Structure 1
Amino acid sequence: MRAGLPHRPRSQSAKPVIDGLSSRALAAIARLERSRSYLSPGDTAAAVRLWKEHTRRTERQLWADEDEDDPHWLCCGNPHHARELLAAVMQAMSPRNARELRQVVGRLDALLGDP
């Protein structure tokens, strides 16, 4: 399992699909996923999906997850690890492309009230 994401076989030609990103930013992500040992094709899109699902949960569900260390994270991925992976990807990207991904992730973070 990579960075808390569920293990899914992916083709080497997988192209990321992340709403709100330009084709230039998506191409940069695809290049990073091919060149970094901590990434596999599709990891960034999977991390965005997982973080999006997590941030849209009710506050009550989020508290239950924290209290019980959600057992679903074993099969479905840990959203906190996914957020850490997104931070690493944004750090590795060029400033212009990272800005686009930061906007997408920032909107999700705002749902949790994170700065």
Structure 2
Amino acid sequence: MRRDLPRGRRPQDGRQVIPGLSGPALARIARIERRASWPGPLFEAWGRWRALAYQPGPWVMYASDDCCACCDPFAGAAVREVLEAACLVLPRPAARELRAVLAPLDARFLARTLPDPFAPPGDPWWTRRLESA
């Protein structure tokens, strides 16, 4: 009889998830996103990184900033920085899952962009890509 009753809405029902991650990994991500010092929502960063890797157009693409970092915290490759920060903060099993989900996107981004020969070698790999032809 209770199955027929309408189910009450739970606060976590509206939470978005990253496909391919387990429940415990998503719970860890939700926990770190609640920190006041955390730079931004991980699902949004993952979605923007995926959109950047799979954007339509010529095979060789150049990263383009539609906006600056002052008005959009996810401008350019800053989304990858949020994802990398999560990989460093999460416990090993959850970080391993997140890196496994990111690996195909990273590989596609690397395959579709060209290295910047003038970029500082100490910068993260995603910032050492050419931004214009």
- Using structure 2 for the length normalisation, give the TM-score: 0.61
8 A Cα contact 2:32 2:38, kept in partner: no
Contact 1:47 1:79 in 2 (8 A): no
1:23 corresponds in structure 2 to 23
Query: What aligned pairs does 1:58-97 form with structure 2 within 5 A after superposition?
Result: 58-59=57-58, 62-63=61-62, 65=64, 69-71=65-67, 77-97=74-94
Range with greater deviation from structure 2 (89-98 or 70-79): 70-79
Q: Secondary structure at the match of 1:19?
A: coil
Q: Which has the higher contact order (CA 8 A, sep 6+)?
A: 1
- Aligned-pair CA distance for 1:76: 9.0
- Pair 1:62–1:78, CA change in 2 (3 A): farther
Deviations 1:73-96 (A, max 9, x none): 856942411100000011000011
Residues 1:46 and 2:44 aligned together: yes
How high is the TM-score relative to the length of structure 1?
0.70
Partner of 1:35 in structure 2? 35
Match of 1:111 in 2: 108
The list of structure 1 runs, each at least 4 consecutive aligned residues, that deviate by more than 6 angstroms after superposition, is none
RMSD, aligned CA: 2.9
**What is the identity percentage for the equivalent residue pairs of Structure 1 and Structure 2?**
32
The structure carrying a bigger helix percent of its residues is 1
Give the aligned length: 99
Letter in 1 for 2:48: L
User: What are the ranges of 5 or more consecutive residues in structure 1 without an aligned counterpart?
Assistant: 1-11
**Distance (whole Å) between structure 2 residues aligned to residue 64 and residue 19 of structure 1:** 25
* Local SS of the residue matching 1:109: helix
Flag the 1:32–1:71 CA change in 2: closer, same or farther, 3 A: closer
